[in-house]
Chains A and B, each alone.
Chain A
């Protein structure tokens, strides 16, 4: 009896991610959700620029590689090309989504664009070797903040879910993490909801996943998972920041 298998929505291509990186977990969760919802044949994914730039090799559905930060705009085009038959998701990191692509992110959310956004927040630029991200924590040492992020000099991290929750547009905004079995289960439920919302025509759904980068944080994989609990979650509290449909239910 098979008790554990690779999701159909993942290809056999070996992933290039570093040992201990949580991209692999999130890829798997997205693929499991695509399988469970039976939508692989109509799903089109949009990969970012960053560590997950080659996500197009790993997801078995049709895939598009976007310019840095532009995935929500590309996804808007793909969705609008055939709103009834396309399920569209973007998979983006923090530099892509919250720095160079912030305008595209905010406006896709404001339009309540009917797409699903998977947002990997690991507080660092991974692909280019560990530079300060828009989500790097105050005091965090990176290649471009070697003395620690000085908020007097380069400002404060951006809390994406909190920021977008002020907009009337988006349907669903939630922050999860994948540093424990319990948290992985919560993350999967959130990702599933974010896809189901799109299928139900509810609109823009973003799942922010606090993720680890052992390589660029300079930690063991185990220590990196602990760092999420110790440092990231206090700054980026987990939870649902917006769930319009649920809120409507409550007020009935």
Chain B
């Protein structure tokens, strides 16, 4: 059992920063943007004390390219930003993918589109899971639902990035970034270091030169790099999918929710259960790869699904794809920085229960 003294009270953004340091990251580049600036502020304080490098870049574009530079040398490196800043990093994300470079990129989402607002949102789901930039590529997308998970998934994110030579995106939201919770940092487990013979660290005149590059003018060669990358993605889909199930064993209704939406949904589920409504939840922890298996299984079990999101309905598409539309899926959402209340989610559950005749 963990005693209270093993835990420290931290903001989500600070937990990311400290976990990154624990994971061996010594290079951070970023540009100020609310609501993730605490990550930069924490790094600015800590990095000089431990021989690391914090550098405030002139733009998000420069920051992601500094990340590209460090990643080319094989060292662990990260940047963090929030929605509008992530759009600017899109070019760099595509180049990181094309050059097969590992990095951790944090998006503490805020409402959009455009300058939007500074309150929490999940409306960058498509951007993270579908199109972080131009070209065919994926990022591993991790969605924490507690400050503890902010720390754990940061460490996991670095390990996965190194293992598969690609970007991991930690997709949090303003609530996760700003809320304070106890964190057990001593429980974090860092994976074994990965060999990086491809890194550009100088030939020392002992080997042929390494080239970090995403340009392939020969279409057949470029096609091959895409095929190889997607073979790797398949391995990730098979081995790295993460999710949590809550009260799904006897559920007639399944909620799909991640991050803060899952926290709110849990309260609503507990209330609904008091009324005898058999409702459970599947909480994707990896948004890509999306946990298709539990949703496919649930499609043969439940009579209705509800996707609870802080967006106009983005993850709901993955839920429908995973369930092959076998059960009706409704959307329960708020946007623009608003968060669905437990009462709103409960109302959605009751509506679904009434439709399937499930309130018994």
A residues sitting closer than 8 Å to B (CB atoms) are 11, 40-44, 46, 53-54, 56-57, 59-67, 70, 73-82, 85-87, 103-104, 106-107
What A residues does B27 contact at CB under 8 A? 77, 80-81
Residues of A contacting B201 with CB < 8 Å?
44, 62, 82, 85-86
Q: Within the complex, which residue of A40, A54, A56, A76 is in contact with B69, where a contact is CB–CB below 8 Å? A: A76
Within 8 A of A (CB), among B57-85: 57-59, 61-63, 65-73, 75, 77
Known contacts A40-B203, A56-B211, A60-B203; A67 and B72 CB within 8 A of each other: no
| Nearest chain A residue, comparing its CB with the CB of B54 | A80
With beta carbons under 8 angstroms apart, the residue of B71, B99, B204, B210 that contacts A41 is B204
User: Which residues of chain A have C-beta atoms less than 8 A from B72's C-beta?
Assistant: 44, 64, 74, 77-78
Task: Give B26's nearest chain A residue, CB to CB.
Answer: A81
Given contacts A44-B202, A64-B72, contact A77 B211 (CB under 8 A): no
State the CA gap A142–B66 with chains docked (Å).
34
B60 to chain A minimum Cβ distance, whole angstroms, is: 11
Q: How large is the interface on B (under 10, 10 to 19, 20 to 34, 35 or more residues)?
A: 35 or more
Pick the contact of B70: A63, A80, A85, A103 (CB < 8 A).
Answer: A80
Is the CB–CB distance between A85 and B202 below 8 Å? yes
> Is B209 touching A59 in the complex (CB atoms < 8 A)?
yes
Asked if A107 meets B204 with Cβ closer than 8 Å, knowing A63-B209, A65-B213, the reply is no
A77 and B29 in contact, given A65-B212, A103-B58 (Cβ under 8 angstroms): yes
Enumerate chain B residues within 8 angstroms of A67, measured Cβ to Cβ.
65, 68, 91-92, 95
- Min CB distance, B26 to chain A, in Å? 9
CA distance A53 to B201 in the complex (A): 20
Could you tell me if A66 and B70 are in contact, using CB atoms closer than 8 angstroms? no
With a cutoff of 8 Å between Cβ atoms, the chain A residues found around residue B68 in the complex are: 64, 66-67, 70, 73-74, 77
Q: Does B22 contact A (CB under 8 A)?
A: no
> Contact: A66 with B202, CB < 8 Å?
no
B67 closest partner in A (C-beta): A77
Q: How far is the CA of A153 from the CA of B93 in the complex (A)?
A: 35
What is the distance, in angstroms, from B35's C-beta to the closest C-beta of chain A? 25
Min CB gap B79→A, angstroms: 10
Question: Is A62's CB under 8 angstroms from B203's CB?
Answer: yes
Question: Considering the chains assembled together, what is the distance between the CA atoms of A104 and B99 in angstroms?
Answer: 21
Other-chain contact of A77, B70, B203, B204, B215 (Cβ < 8 Å) = B70
Q: Shortest CB–CB separation between residue B77 and chain A, in angstroms?
A: 7
What's the Cα separation between A87 and B202 when bound, in Å? 9
**Inter-chain contact A64/B211, CB cutoff 8 Å:** yes
A74, A85, A86 pick with most chain B CB within 10 angstroms: A74
A104 adjacent to B70 (CB under 8 Å): no
A104–B201 alpha-carbon span in the complex (Å): 22
B214 contacts chain A at the CB level, 8 A cutoff: yes
**Contacting residues, chain B, for A76 (C-beta < 8 A):** 55, 62, 66, 69
CA separation between A77 and B55, bound complex, in Å? Answer: 10
* Residue pair A63, B65 in contact (C-beta under 8 Å): no
Residues B208-226 near A (CB distance < 8 A): 209-215
> B180 → chain A, closest Cβ, in Å?
32
Is B50 located at the chain interface by the 8 A CB criterion?
no
A41 B206 Cβ-Cβ under 8 A: yes
CB pair B77–A77 under 8 Å, yes or no, is yes
- A-B pairs, top 7 by smallest CB distance, nearest first, are A77-B69, A73-B65, A62-B200, A107-B58, A77-B66, A70-B65, A65-B213
Q: Give the distance in Å from the alpha carbon of A82 to the alpha carbon of B70 in the complex.
A: 9
Residues of B within 8 A of A104 (CB): 58, 61-62, 65
CB within 8 Å for A64 and B62 given contacts A42-B204, A44-B202? no
B205 within 8 A of A: yes
Q: Counting CB contacts under 8 A, is B247 at the interface? A: no
A45 to chain B, nearest CB (A): 9
Q: B53 at the A/B interface (Cβ < 8 Å)?
A: yes
Q: B199 to chain A: closest CB distance in Å?
A: 8
Contacts of B202 in A (CB 8 A): 41-44, 61-62, 85-87
Return the chain B residue nearest A88 by Cβ.
Answer: B69
Cα–Cα, bound, A4→B237 (Å) = 56
> Is B215 in contact with A54, judged by CB distance below 8 angstroms?
yes
Q: List 23 A-B contacts (CB under 8 A).
A: A41-B205, A42-B202, A44-B200, A44-B202, A53-B215, A56-B213, A62-B201, A62-B209, A62-B210, A64-B69, A64-B200, A64-B211, A65-B212, A73-B68, A73-B69, A74-B65, A75-B69, A80-B70, A81-B75, A82-B73, A85-B202, A103-B59, A107-B58
A80 touching B53 by the CB < 8 A rule? yes
Which of B53, B63, B211, B214 has a CB less than 8 Å from the CB of A63?
Answer: B211
Q: Is the CB of A60 within 8 A of B209?
A: yes
Closest to B59 in A: A103
A residues in contact with B214, CB < 8 Å? 65
Nearest chain A CB to B265 CB, angstrom units: 40
CA distance A87 to B73 in the complex (A): 13
Q: Which of B59, B69, B211 contacts A78 (CB 8 A)?
A: B69
- Please give, as numbers and ranges, the residues of chain A lying within 8 Å of B206 by CB-CB distance: 41
Which chain B residues lie closer than 8 Å to A59 at the CB level? 209
Q: Which residues of B contact A85 (CB under 8 A)?
A: 201-202
What distance in Å separates the Cβ of B32 from its nearest Cβ neighbour in chain A?
15
Mask for B150-176, Cβ within 8 A of A = 1, else 0? 000000000000000000000000000
